[in-house]
Amino acid sequence: MLALQPLIDALRDGRVRARELIEQCLQRIADPSGEGSAAFLHVFAAEARAHADSIDRLRAARASVPPFAGIPVSVKDLFDVAGLTTGAGSKALYTLPPAPRDAEVVERLRAAGMIVLGRTNMTEFAYSGLGVNPHFGTPRNPFDRATGRIPGGSSSGAAVSVTDEMAAAALGTDTGGSARIPAAMTGIVGFKPTAARVSRRGVLPLSTTLDSVGWLAPTVACCALLDAVLAGGPKSGELELPAPFPARGLRLLVPESYVLDDLDDHVAATFERSLAALSRAGAVLLPAPLPELERLPEIHAKGGFSAAESYTEYHDLIAAQGDLIDPRVAVRILKGREQTAADYVRLISARADLIEKVSRRSAAVDALVMPTVPIVAPALRELESDAAYFRANALALRNTMIANFLDRCAISIPAHRGGDAPVGLMLMGEHGLDRKLLAIARSVESLLSPAR
């Protein structure tokens, strides 16, 4: 895959031209034997070529260029791009007027010199962890593509754009795991920052309480470089990476229940092997019950914040154009009408209580560790019935949504062996300690995937 730092170095040193790199990505997107047509909903080929040519001319003239100049990225169909309607993977939204300006995070990508190749496919309105889209197709997972496995969602096209080298990195979102789930299922890194660190201006909402911007890339270092841009921007043109946090003495809380329930055998074995590797390296594993997490199913029995807030956002659209909306998405949004004002107030109270109690338990550790997703990516054909679909969706979201509910940062790192079905290891940090979490993740990644 196209790791950022080697590409930055090659572009800066003249070993690769921006136009050459963009053409390679566009060829992969257009390849009829590939997944480009399912991964991308819009491709900005002419604009990308023009941007690349301007960067190459500036470099040839030895003019100053931004640090990421020429790096190709994709953007989820949830972010405003000036002059285009933000569709959120839905046919129902394409009657709306175009966005007057880029989302703030898209502006930051461009200001850093990155070239936006296009907008990627997603679960409609970002409301599922599986990545299935009946309107525009579902990009197939790079693992066992012949079987036709899901890529995970909701940032499905984002993940496949990175795995298939159609982009070096992808901008996605994460309301309950939408960046980390597809990263885990396709074998790359997905990062969810503390929500308030990264602007959501120009990002179509699903749940204003839980939404955060997220991103996907080949390595933890790539995600850390993107964090420097999206959470504030590199200073003086410098690209800063947090030094790896020493593994020896690293204190990791391992929840003993809930997050370990109903693991499939491959995920369970991979998780145990990962913990053993961390222990051998000197990390201190602290298994402990977290009974507070057992309350989450009851708290979300009526759909939680996502149902209440998405219903506020989309109920008029469903009433007017419900026939254009995926019924499996619409039924989850419509759960919001079951909630009363008292239910919503209780949600707010339950969240505050859980944040306080879990924070007390985790205060003495550096991070929590758990499987990102309890199952490997199922085949599309296994999700034909609604019962199978909603069962898989609930499992896919169960562990990842904890970080959103607790308003924390979290990252998924590939933990599987080469050739095996992808499995992610999730590290969850404290609220606001994102750079510390990225430093820990760099160390953990080096133990689990030393070649990355």
178 is catalytic: yes
SS (H, E, C) the chain: CCCHHHHHHHHHHCCCCHHHHHHHHHHHHHCCCCCHHHHEEEECHHHHHHHHHHHHHHHHCCCCCCCCCCCEEEEECCECCCCCCCCCCCHHHCCCCCCCCCCHHHHHHHHCCCEEEEEECCCHHHCCCCCCCCCCCCCCCCCCCCCCECCCCCCHHHHHHHHCCCCCEEEEECCCCCCHHHHHHHCCEEEECCHHHCCCCCECCCCCCCCCEEEEECCHHHHHHHHHHHCCCCHHHCCCCCCCCCCCCCEEEEECCCCCCCCCHHHHHHHHHHHHHHHHCCCEEEEECCHHHHHHHHHCCCCHHHHHHHHHHHHHHHHHHHHHCCHHHHHHHHHHHHCCHHHHHHHHHHHHHHHHHHHHHHCCCCEEEEECCCCCCCEHHHHCCHHHHHHHHHHHHHCCHHHHHCCCCEEEEECCCCCCCCCEEEEECCCCCHHHHHHHHHHHHHHHCCCC
Query: For 106, phi and psi rounded to 5 degrees?
Result: -70, -40
154 is catalytic: yes
Q: Which of 74, 76, 156, 212 is catalytic?
A: 76
Q: Which of 128, 154, 155, 161 is catalytic?
A: 154
Q: Which of 74, 90, 128, 178 is catalytic?
A: 178
Catalytic residues: 76, 154, 178
